[in-house]
Amino acid sequence: MSIQLYNTLTRKKEEFVPLEEGKVKMYVCGPTVYNYIHIGNARPAIVFDTVRRYLEYRGYEVKYVSNFTDVDDKLIRAANQLGEDVPTIADRFIEAYFEDVTSLGCRHADIHPRVMENMDIIIEFIRQLIEKGYAYESEGDVYFHTRGFEEYGKLSHQSIDELRVGARIEVGDKKQDDLDFALWKAAKEGEIYWESPWGPGRPGWHIECSAMAKKYLGDTIDIHAGGQDLTFPHHENEIAQSEALTGKPFARYWMHNGYINIDNEKMSKSLGNFVLVHDIIKQHNPQVLRLFMLSVHYRNPINYSQELLESTKSAFERLQTSYQNLKHRREASTNLTDHNQEWLDKISALHDEFIEAMDDDFNTAKAISVLFDLSKSANYYLLEKNTAAEVIDAFTGQFEELFAVLGLKLDKEEMLDEEIDALIEKRNQARKERNFQLSDQIRDQLKDMNIILEDTPQGTRWKRG
List residues near Zn ion by CB under 5 A. 29, 209
Residue type, 77: R
- To the nearest whole angstrom, how small is the minimum distance from the Cβ of residue 430 to Zn ion? 59
- To the nearest whole angstrom, how small is the minimum distance from the Cβ of residue 116 to Zn ion? 16
- To the nearest whole angstrom, how small is the minimum distance from the Cβ of residue 146 to Zn ion? 17
* Residue 29 or 406 with smaller CB distance to Zn ion: 29
- To the nearest whole angstrom, how small is the minimum distance from the Cβ of residue 188 to Zn ion? 24
- To the nearest whole angstrom, how small is the minimum distance from the Cβ of residue 29 to Zn ion? 3
Q: What's the rounded Cα separation, in Å, for the pair 462 and 442? A: 13
Reference 366, options 393, 338, 402, 335; nearest CA is 402
Neighbours of 77 (CB within 10 A): 11
Q: What's the rounded Cα separation, in Å, for the pair 56 and 265? A: 36
- To the nearest whole angstrom, how small is the minimum distance from the Cβ of residue 203 to Zn ion? 12
Q: How many CA atoms lie within 13 A of 252 on its CB side?
A: 17
Q: What's the rounded Cα separation, in Å, for the pair 344 and 331? A: 19
* Residue 236 or 359 with smaller CB distance to Zn ion: 236
Q: How far is CA 125 from the centre of its chain?
A: 29
- To the nearest whole angstrom, how small is the minimum distance from the Cβ of residue 69 to Zn ion? 8
* Residue 29 or 267 with smaller CB distance to Zn ion: 29
* Residue 37 or 209 with smaller CB distance to Zn ion: 209
* Residue 209 or 244 with smaller CB distance to Zn ion: 209
Q: What's the rounded Cα separation, in Å, for the pair 23 and 29? A: 20
Whether cis (ω within 30° of 0) applies to the bond prior to 233 is yes
Q: How does DSSP assign 167-216, residue by residue?
A: ----TT---SSTT-EEEEEEPPTT---B--TT-SEEE-HHHHHHHHHHHH
15 forms bridges with which residues in the sheet? 4
- To the nearest whole angstrom, how small is the minimum distance from the Cβ of residue 398 to Zn ion? 37
- To the nearest whole angstrom, how small is the minimum distance from the Cβ of residue 209 to Zn ion? 3
Contact present, 99 and 39 (Cβ < 8 Å): no
Going edge to edge, which strands form the sheet with 181-186?
A: 135-138, 141-144, 181-186, 201-203
E strand spans, 75-173: 135-138, 141-144
What lies within 8 Å, CB to CB, of 103 at 6+ separation is 281, 286
* Residue 45 or 388 with smaller CB distance to Zn ion: 45
Reference 323, options 386, 394, 390; nearest CA is 394
- To the nearest whole angstrom, how small is the minimum distance from the Cβ of residue 34 to Zn ion? 16
What lies within 8 Å, CB to CB, of 383 at 6+ separation is none
Reference 343, options 408, 397, 307; nearest CA is 397
Q: What's the rounded Cα separation, in Å, for the pair 358 and 352? A: 10
- To the nearest whole angstrom, how small is the minimum distance from the Cβ of residue 144 to Zn ion? 15
